[in-house]
Amino acid sequence: MTKHAFLEGMGLGVLAGAAVGMAVAAKGMQDPNVRRMVRQTGRKMNHMRADLADTLGM
């Protein structure tokens, strides 16, 4: 197992967990505050993915 594969797997796991969490909380998605928090979390995850890709030189 290389470090790249491990980190890619971790990133996919984080994304999968976020998707499952949003699906489970779909009923609560009607609240504007929840939608705002989900968008902010998505942006943070996107920034983390970009930073990780830059760090790994991808």
At residue 26, the pLDDT reads: 65
At residue 29, the pLDDT reads: 61
Round to the nearest angstrom and report the end-to-end CA distance of the chain.
18
At residue 58, the pLDDT reads: 64
- Whether the CB-CB separation of 45 and 14 falls below 8 Å is answered with yes
HSE-CB at 41 with a 13 A cutoff on CA atoms is 13
At residue 30, the pLDDT reads: 66
pLDDT tens across the length of the chain (58 residues): 456 777 777 777 888 777 777 766 666 566 777 778 878 888 888 888 888 878 877 6
Q: Where are the alpha helices (DSSP H) in 1-58?
A: 3-24, 32-56
Report the SS3 class of residue 58. coil
